Structure 1
Amino acid sequence: MRILRAGDHRQMPWKNGGGFTTEIAISPSGATVSDFDWRISMAKVPSSGPFSAFANVDRVLAVLDGEMRLTIGGGQATLIGPTSPAIAFPGDVPTSAEVIREVTDLNVMVRRGRFSANVRRLDQAGIVANAEETFVLFRSAAEVSPRDAFGLDDVIHLFATEGLAFTSIPKNAWLVEITSI
């Protein structure tokens, strides 16, 4: 198990220059936005606009705070907020957001055909990592036995078969699972 504290996450500009992202984890270590296998990040989206395009990349997006209408390709806009499930879409299809209330999102990107990603709310007091890479992002305070405390945007990284138990079900946490295909 590795602990990734919020204060250690790396800040960087968006690929399209429209804002900033907070990179939580990337593989391989030292990869860039052009050559990663997979990448987990968060971004503040203060205003409406297009998403950056990523060729041969699949994305999974969850809204952590705020609300927006997401339009993927020529499809109908989907209203998403903090209670919505994560949405998967191809990173190379034109995608845009109409921001209703400033959004903070969780964005997981994987190299198409090589990795897959699953993103969902964590709704249990214990977990065993079934994926090759498993991450838990905390959006509220949580404790893990034996009494390790976690706060806003701290992350636990579990490797395959590792487990952990919380002192109680986290009030607001997201589970990210990445598997090679």
Structure 2
Amino acid sequence: MGMSLLRAAGYRRMPWKNGGGETVEIAVFPSHAGLSDFDWRISMAKVAGDGPFSIFPEIDRTLCVLEGNGIELSIAGKGVVRLDPASEPLAFPADMAINARLTDGAITDLNVMTRRGVAAHRVSRIDIDGAIERQAAGAPTLVFCQYGTLELEADGERADLSVLDCALVEAPPTVPLRLSGNARCFVVEILYG
């Protein structure tokens, strides 16, 4: 069991794969993997204009809108999906042609990606006012604080998260995660096997 606190000020900034903007990498595994050889990756990006998404072969992706009025995604073979901060996380293959259109100004999004056949993932958005407990289903499980303040406890370890901080928890599924505070967070479970 181990817990690592990833502070927002320490995230790595890098250009989008298609050169159309900048992404803020929150966490990646292996730790120094690039865009073509990661098992999993969590990042944020500001989308300031319409255009195509980068294509990532053999990658599954989940997108969540953190800020802004929304975005419409035209997904090949699936039609148009509109996302805004109230929408549930949207999972889709990252190797499909996807075109994005902003509905009213720039947005900031949260991206979770896993390499198909190596790992999978689940993303849950949770609003906390008080305390909740849930099992760590992934190995690892990451808790990203969108806003507010959040205390995370797991197996005797503790982390205090502020806006845009993330905690990475290496714990078996039997370990409960206790989340307390007043915050919106995203729990990302990375599933191997």
SS in 2 for 1:171: strand
CA contact (8 A) 1:141 1:149 kept: no
Q: Aligned pair 1:166/2:179, yes or no?
A: yes
SS in 1 for 2:79: coil
- Alignment partners' CA distance in 2, 1:121 and 1:104: 15
Q: Aligned pair 1:151/2:162, yes or no?
A: yes
- Alignment partners' CA distance in 2, 1:48 and 1:70: 10
Q: Aligned pair 1:118/2:122, yes or no?
A: yes
Residue type at the aligned position of 1:167: S
SS in 1 for 2:17: coil
Match in the other structure for 2:190? 178
Aligned residues: 180
**CA pair 153-79 structure 1, distance change in 2 beyond 3 A:** same
Residue type at the aligned position of 2:109: D
Q: Which runs of 5+ in 1 are unaligned?
A: none
SS in 2 for 1:122: strand
Q: 1:20 aligns with which of 19, 22, 25?
A: 22
**CA pair 10-35 structure 1, distance change in 2 beyond 3 A:** same
CA contact (8 A) 2:149 2:163 kept: no
Quote the RMSD (CA, aligned, Å): 1.8
Bigger strand share? 2
Q: Kindly state the Cα deviation for residue 156 of structure 1 after the two structures are TM-superposed.
A: 1.0
Match in the other structure for 1:4? 6
Q: Which runs of 5+ in 2 are unaligned?
A: none
Q: Kindly state the Cα deviation for residue 18 of structure 1 after the two structures are TM-superposed.
A: 0.1
Match in the other structure for 1:41? 43
Q: Aligned pair 1:105/2:109, yes or no?
A: yes
Match in the other structure for 1:88? 91
Match in the other structure for 1:50? 52
**CA pair 145-25 structure 1, distance change in 2 beyond 3 A:** closer
The Cα offsets for residues 44-98 of structure 1, whole Å up to 9 and x where unpaired, read as 0011110000111111111111211011114321111011011111111001110
The Cα offsets for residues 117-162 of structure 1, whole Å up to 9 and x where unpaired, read as 1111124623331211111111112231688542211001111234
CA contact (8 A) 2:150 2:183 kept: no
- Alignment partners' CA distance in 1, 2:26 and 2:118: 20
CA contact (8 A) 2:145 2:162 kept: yes
Q: Kindly state the Cα deviation for residue 31 of structure 1 after the two structures are TM-superposed.
A: 0.6
The Cα offsets for residues 16-64 of structure 1, whole Å up to 9 and x where unpaired, read as 0000000011111111001111111110001111000011111111111
Q: Structure 1 length as normaliser, TM-score?
A: 0.92
**CA pair 94-131 structure 1, distance change in 2 beyond 3 A:** same
